[in-house]
């Protein structure tokens, strides 16, 4: 099973290290010392159990013979889509239908959908002789199935991650970068439409860029019209919104507008992280976690506990481990020669790094709060399991790569 | 390095750089500032409790009101010496050490927030505790609000501190662990209306009073929305009279309802308890009293079911008429004081017998034999179906929690409980006079007799008339009222009513005492044998008419004796009182000034303008209110 010459022990070690750091942080986040009483909620040992299960799953994936693994992906994907449909009919938990609850264990099918969609799309778009146009079309069509189902739950935050990994997979499948930019251009147009100078500059840049890329006139015209339309319609659309709808969007972008809701948590998180200063208040020494984060400070806001208790030094060390981990994954995507596996690895890399960035960014008030947990660190069973399994897939591909390189 | 790999590396480097710069700025450059903010511990959300709606009778006289209370709060992170605190609290308030530890544990993730540890503290003990408060910076008093129940009753219910289970259950509805929740009765049933919505305020000044300015916008205050007050159909005068009219030493229920609306005017269950004792720590003596064997906590109007006895006879008669077995002239075997069926002898309550009677006489004199005879011609399952259509199987749907179902057995039930070969005829004979397995609650009886008086239209009994406060909703808007037509033809109904009239007004009627000058009385007595004791349950159900139907009265007394001799006189007192004070009871009262909305004051043309431009949701509510007012004016 494990090929000593090829197996990426470093990646595995970094993975285990991250999970370990997560358990330490969760222990602290779920512990409070109040006038001599030390109370610990049972989150941390549950996370340890989840970790053991996740590592067992990792072992299983690596052990599974490659042909069987390949055959299993499609049925697993279909089953997952069915689960995504079925979950919409479960009783709602605080307004959303995201979880199956079986015997006290909550399973979130959108977690497994990330990994399985990546694997399916990787297989589809890395087929021989597929035009760039077909790659983009196929990738989008497949990705839309889970995305629409997840939007219905509703869970918008998670879908961002799907888009990012799709882009990364297209790049890895050798789709030219300017196509990707072309796909993303309407999003830029939305941002640029804030001001008319922005619109003009952006459209000039876009058309110049397209002409330079020697694309066909048809493409240039279509892209120009679409972007022009989006930038012109956006302000009208914005003006057509009711005050409270505008407020909702503005609050999403700037949570401090809503001090009684989302803004309160973000500010608390910033105070916690900022007050950690250089070296932090020491493990279990955090004071801000005793404030009002419950129930998120061991899940989405776990980074605030780390920032508070280990300071800037601790944040740097955690980021360092993440950097090493992602560097290892980039290396893996470079070394894999089978195009399907390279594309899949790129997708997994993008999905993990985008979650990490969004989560930490959310903790320090950089990006809007979207309810995305920090991979391997945040408390949560299905999240940890499928993040670990996606690394397992990368490890498996590395382990069984050819001798060509 | 291949092209995608290079791109990924650049991409990752950019993300890393963004995070590093932000973290550096946050933790190093501004770290000292945030340390100060963290140490001053002042940024927090304070809850502003909404005022709970009050409860009034139909003339806006209070039944339940809010009064100020002294509440003691604890801030767990300020505790210095927990043992001293525990001794102090035990000595003054009787709070056990374990209780305190549990409170502190429960609050561990919000140790900066105050938690309510004792509410509604008496004035004297508040003074005593206040003297020592300097030694306990973690404790402080706040003025809160508690409920005052103006008279003992079973319908208002009471509120209590929210417990762990309820807190988990209603988590999404923004309850505070320091808050109250309706536990029983109307307080529970209309919790959603009464409660309102708590406001919030964010406190962001440091210890020197300087604003921290962490939020760029000023919307840091959310006003509480006070709860709606309930105006009930209850009439306090009549309620008070009924309380007194019900004999002190007896257990039972007395219900008076308005025939045309189904609204309950008086709701008495005896023995009763004072809901105010739940507003403070309950003393062991009070607890013992609540658990007395006479069950004062039991609401005998809706939470208990009893065999109805003869008051059920109109139902049996009704089915006989529907099946064309009985008409005005139908006579069965002569009553000689009993009825032989097979090897069993069923006695009539009058040993000397009633002779041959028609249906009117049979009802008036409550002749059992007439109904025994009739029952043998009625199929059991149709009987059950008919009882169900008359509102006796299931619940009436009154706006109170945990109403008990009525029960009527069918063939299936007998087979399950007595074996497959059961002969049901003997049971049917019993059921025909409201004995045997049948169970009904006083509220079901009242609704049925009110329906007889209301041209056979059964209306769901209810206590809520309307809400006042933020919005004015009628009972039907809060929850549509069920109504149904009883299975009677007009002529059949007339026959039954003749029987009920004869019960009160003929020489041999069992309720001949129930006669009121200037009004027509109708009724039926019952003396139900039961498993609870030797003495029968006394029932009287009936109604009174002036030029139109007025009120339906149900009197029920546990193990008190005969319906005609014990229950009927009480009903007569209620009828007398009602007719004597009819003007006063039926008087409509203008809505008091504090419940007038701005729209009430405005003139009509302006109201019309608002109707023309219904833009926002709030306006729609206004329109409903305006329409109601117009109806009232008419």
Query: Would the pLDDT of B60 be above 70?
Result: yes
Distance from CA of A23 to the nearest CA of B (A): 19
Query: Would the pLDDT of B313 be above 90?
Result: yes
**Residue B603 binned pLDDT confidence (cut-offs 50, 70, 90):** very low
Query: Tell me, what's the pLDDT at B307?
Result: 94
**Residue B221 binned pLDDT confidence (cut-offs 50, 70, 90):** confident
Query: CB contacts < 8 Å between A and B, how many?
Result: 176
A233-286 tens-digit pLDDT: 887 888 888 777 777 777 777 777 777 777 777 888 888 899 888 888 888 777
Least confident of A93-97, B55-59, B374-378, B627-631: B627-631
Contact yes or no for A274 and B110 at CB 8 A? no
Sorted by sequence, the CB contacts under 8 Å of residue B513 that are 6+ apart come out as B564, B568, B569, B572
Cross-strand partners of B549: B545
More confident residue, B314 or B620: B314
Q: Are B77 and B259 in contact (CB under 8 A)?
A: no
Distance from CA of B224 to the nearest CA of A (A): 13
Q: Let me know if residue A165 belongs to a domain.
A: yes
Q: Let me know if residue A365 belongs to a domain.
A: yes
B438-471 tens-digit pLDDT: 999 999 999 999 999 999 999 999 999 999 988 8
Strands B229-232 and B338-341: unpaired
Query: Tell me, what's the pLDDT at B619?
Result: 41
Radius of gyration of chain B (CA): 32
DSSP state letter for B26 = I
Contact yes or no for A293 and B44 at CB 8 A? no
Query: Tell me, what's the pLDDT at B206?
Result: 60
A207-217 tens-digit pLDDT: 787 777 777 77
d(CA B329, CA B66): 60
Our measurement of the distance from residue B374's CA atom to the centroid of its chain's CA atoms, rounded to an integer in Å, reads: 39
Distance from CA of B54 to the nearest CA of A (A): 28
Measure the CA angle with vertex B350, ends B345 and B351; round to 5°.
60
Query: Tell me, what's the pLDDT at A227?
Result: 82
Contact yes or no for B79 and A35 at CB 8 A? yes
Contact yes or no for B43 and A95 at CB 8 A? no
Contacts of B4 in chain A (CB under 8 A): 171-172, 174, 333, 346
Q: Let me know if residue A260 belongs to a domain.
A: yes
**Residue B607 binned pLDDT confidence (cut-offs 50, 70, 90):** very low
Contact yes or no for A349 and B22 at CB 8 A? no
Sorted by sequence, the CB contacts under 8 Å of residue A335 that are 6+ apart come out as A398, A401, A405
Residues in chain A, pLDDT under 50: 292-294, 404-405
DSSP state letter for B171 = G
Closest in B34, B82, B202 to A271, CB measured: B34
Distance from CA of A64 to the nearest CA of B (A): 28
Exposure of B345 by Cβ count < 10 A (0-12 exposed, 13-18 middle, 19+ buried)?
Answer: exposed
Query: Tell me, what's the pLDDT at B264?
Result: 95
Q: Let me know if residue A405 belongs to a domain.
A: no
Q: What's the domain range around A252? A: 9-399
Interface test with A, best of B3, B22, B26 (most A CBs within 10 A): B26
Query: Would the pLDDT of B357 be above 70?
Result: yes
Q: Let me know if residue A354 belongs to a domain.
A: yes
Distance from CA of A347 to the nearest CA of B (A): 11
Contact yes or no for B214 and A256 at CB 8 A? yes
Contact yes or no for B27 and A278 at CB 8 A? yes
**Residue B620 binned pLDDT confidence (cut-offs 50, 70, 90):** very low
Contact yes or no for A292 and B214 at CB 8 A? no
Query: Would the pLDDT of B629 be above 70?
Result: no
Contact yes or no for A267 and B9 at CB 8 A? no
B266-277 tens-digit pLDDT: 999 989 999 999
Q: Let me know if residue A306 belongs to a domain.
A: yes
DSSP state letter for B114 = E
Q: Let me know if residue A4 belongs to a domain.
A: no
More confident residue, B265 or A38: B265
ipTM confidence score = 0.90
Q: Are B204 and B217 in contact (CB under 8 A)?
A: no
Contact yes or no for B31 and A278 at CB 8 A? yes
Q: Let me know if residue A2 belongs to a domain.
A: no
The predicted model gives B532-544 an average pLDDT of: 91
Least confident of B418-427, B429-438, B606-615: B606-615
d(CA B53, CA B159): 12
The predicted model gives B61-74 an average pLDDT of: 92
What is the total count of domains within chain A? 1
Q: Are B546 and B516 in contact (CB under 8 A)?
A: no
Query: Would the pLDDT of B103 be above 80?
Result: no
Closest in B101, B113, B214 to A267, CB measured: B214
Radius of gyration of chain A (CA): 22
Contacts of A39 in chain B (CB under 8 A): 105, 108
B26-45 tens-digit pLDDT: 999 988 888 887 777 666 67
DSSP state letter for B624 = H
Contacts of B101 in chain A (CB under 8 A): 37
B116-175 tens-digit pLDDT: 888 888 888 888 888 888 888 888 888 888 999 999 999 999 999 888 888 888 877 888
Contact yes or no for B5 and A39 at CB 8 A? no
**Residue B621 binned pLDDT confidence (cut-offs 50, 70, 90):** very low
Query: Would the pLDDT of B385 be above 50?
Result: yes
Q: Which residue of A has its CA nearest to B170?
A: A94
Q: Are A364 and A346 in contact (CB under 8 A)?
A: no
The predicted model gives B77-100 an average pLDDT of: 82
Distance from CA of A323 to the nearest CA of B (A): 8
Contacts of B217 in chain A (CB under 8 A): 256-257, 259
């Amino acid at each position: 099973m494990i090929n000593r010459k090829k197996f990426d022990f470093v990646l595995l070690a970094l993975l285990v290290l991250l999970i370990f750091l997560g358990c330490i942080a969760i222990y602290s986040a779920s512990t409070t010392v109040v006038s001599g009483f030390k109370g610990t909620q049972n989150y941390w040992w549950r996370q340890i159990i989840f970790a053991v299960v996740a590592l067992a799953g990792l072992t299983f994936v690596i052990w599974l013979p490659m042909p069987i693994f390949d055959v299993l992906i499609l049925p697993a994907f279909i089953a997952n889509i069915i689960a995504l449909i079925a979950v919409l009919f479960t009783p709602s938990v605080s307004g959303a239908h995201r979880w199956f609850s079986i015997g006290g264990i909550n399973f979130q099918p959108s977690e497994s959908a990330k990994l399985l969609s990546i694997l399916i799309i990787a297989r589809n778009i890395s087929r021989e002789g597929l035009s760039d146009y077909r790659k983009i079309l196929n990738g989008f069509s497949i990705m839309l199935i889970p995305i629409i189902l997840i939007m219905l739950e509703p869970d918008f935050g998670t879908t961002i991650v799907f888009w990012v990994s799709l882009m990364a997979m297209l790049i890895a499948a050798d789709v030219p970068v300017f196509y990707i930019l072309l796909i993303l251009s309407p999003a830029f147009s939305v941002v640029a439409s804030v001001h008319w100078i922005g619109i003009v500059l952006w459209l000039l840049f876009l058309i110049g860029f397209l002409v330079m890329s020697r694309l066909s006139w048809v493409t240039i015209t279509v892209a120009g019209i679409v972007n022009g339309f989006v930038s012109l319609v956006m302000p009208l659309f914005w003006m057509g919104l009711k005050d409270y709808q505008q407020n909702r969007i503005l609050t999403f972008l700037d949570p401090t507008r809503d001090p009684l809701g989302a803004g309160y948590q973000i500010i608390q998180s910033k105070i916690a992280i900022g007050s950690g200063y250089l070296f932090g208040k020491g493990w279990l020494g955090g004071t801000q976690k005793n404030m009002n984060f419950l129930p998120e400070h061991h899940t989405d806001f776990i980074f605030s506990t780390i920032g508070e208790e280990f300071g800037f030094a601790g944040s740097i060390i955690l980021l360092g481990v993440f950097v090493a981990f992602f560097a290892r994954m980039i290396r893996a995507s470079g070394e894999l020669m089978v195009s399907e596996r390279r594309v899949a690895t790129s997708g997994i890399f993008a999905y993990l790094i985008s979650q990490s960035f969004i989560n930490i960014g959310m903790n320090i008030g950089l990006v809007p709060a979207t309810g995305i947990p920090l991979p391997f660190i945040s408390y949560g069973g299905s999240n940890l399991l499928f993040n670990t399994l996606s690394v397992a897939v990368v490890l498996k591909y590395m382990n069984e790569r050819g001798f060509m390189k | 390095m291949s092209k995608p790999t290079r791109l990924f590396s650049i991409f990752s480097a950019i993300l890393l750089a963004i995070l590093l710069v932000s973290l550096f700025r946050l933790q190093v450059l501004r770290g000292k500032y945030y340390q100060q903010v963290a140490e001053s511990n002042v940024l927090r959300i304070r809850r502003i409790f909404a005022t709970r709606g009050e409860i009034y009778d139909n003339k806006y006289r209070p039944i339940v009101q809010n009064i100020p209370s002294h509440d003691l709060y604890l801030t767990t992170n300020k505790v210095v010496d927990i043992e001293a605190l525990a001794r102090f609290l035990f000595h003054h308030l009787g709070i056990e050490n374990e209780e305190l530890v549990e409170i502190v544990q429960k609050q561990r993730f919000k140790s900066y927030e105050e938690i309510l540890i004792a509410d509604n503290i008496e004035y004297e003990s508040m003074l005593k505790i206040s003297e020592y408060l300097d030694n306990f910076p973690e404790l402080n008093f706040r003025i809160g609000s508690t409920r005052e129940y103006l008279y003992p009753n079973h319908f208002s219910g009471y509120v209590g501190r929210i417990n762990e289970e309820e807190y988990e259950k209603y988590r999404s509805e923004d309850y505070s662990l320091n808050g109250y929740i309706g536990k029983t009765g109307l307080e529970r049933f209309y919790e959603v209306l009464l409660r309102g919505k708590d406001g919030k305020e964010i406190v962001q000044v440091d210890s020197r009073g300087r604003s921290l300015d962490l939020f760029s916008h000023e919307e840091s205050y959310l006003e509480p929305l006070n709860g709606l007050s309930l105006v009930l159909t209850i009439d306090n005068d009549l309620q008070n009279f009924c309380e007194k009219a019900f004999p002190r030493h007896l257990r039972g229920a007395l219900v008076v309802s308005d025939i045309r609306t189904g609204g309950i005017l008086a709701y008495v269950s005896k023995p009763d308890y004072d809901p105010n004792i739940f507003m403070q720590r309950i003393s062991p003596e009070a607890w013992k009293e609540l658990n007395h064997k006479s069950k004062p906590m039991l609401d005998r109007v809706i939470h208990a079911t009893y065999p109805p006895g003869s008051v059920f006879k109109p139902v049996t008669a009704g089915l006989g008429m529907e099946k064309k077995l009985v008409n005005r002239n139908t006579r069965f075997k002569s009553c000689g004081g009993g009825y032989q069926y097979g090897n069993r002898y069923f006695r009539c309550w009058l040993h000397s017998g009633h002779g041959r009677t028609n249906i009117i006489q049979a009802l008036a004199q409550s002749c059992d034999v007439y109904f025994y005879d009739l029952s043998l011609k009625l199929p059991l399952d149709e009987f059950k179906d008919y009882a169900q259509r008359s509102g006796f199987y299931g619940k009436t749907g009154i706006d109170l929690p945990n109403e008990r179902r009525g029960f009527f057995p069918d063939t299936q039930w007998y087979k399950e409980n007595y074996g497959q070969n059961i002969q049901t005829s003997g049971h049917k004979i019993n059921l025909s006079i409201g004995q045997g397995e049948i169970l009904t609650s006083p509220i079901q009886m009242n609704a049925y007799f009110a329906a007889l008086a209301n041209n056979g239209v059964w209306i769901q009994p209810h206590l809520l008339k309307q809400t006042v406060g933020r919005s004015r909703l009628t009972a039907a808007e809060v929850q549509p009222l069920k109504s149904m037509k009883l299975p009677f033809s007009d002529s059949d109904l007339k026959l039954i009513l003749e029987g009920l009239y004869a019960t009160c007004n003929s020489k041999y009627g069992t309720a001949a005492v129930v006669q009121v000058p200037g009004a027509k009385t109708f009724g039926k007595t019952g003396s139900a044998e039961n498993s609870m004791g030797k003495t029968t349950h006394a029932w009287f159900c009936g109604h009174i008419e002036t030029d139109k139907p007025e009120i339906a009265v149900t009197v029920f007394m546990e193990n008190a004796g005969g319906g005609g001799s014990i229950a009927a006189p009480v009903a007569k007192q209620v009828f007398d009182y009602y007719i004597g004070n009819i003007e006063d009871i039926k008087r409509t009262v203008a809505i008091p000034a504090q419940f007038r909305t701005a729209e009430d004051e405005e003139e009509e043309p302006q109201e019309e303008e608002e109707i023309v431009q219904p833009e926002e949701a709030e306006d729609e509510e206004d329109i409903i209110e305006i329409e109601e007012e117009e109806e009232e004016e008419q």
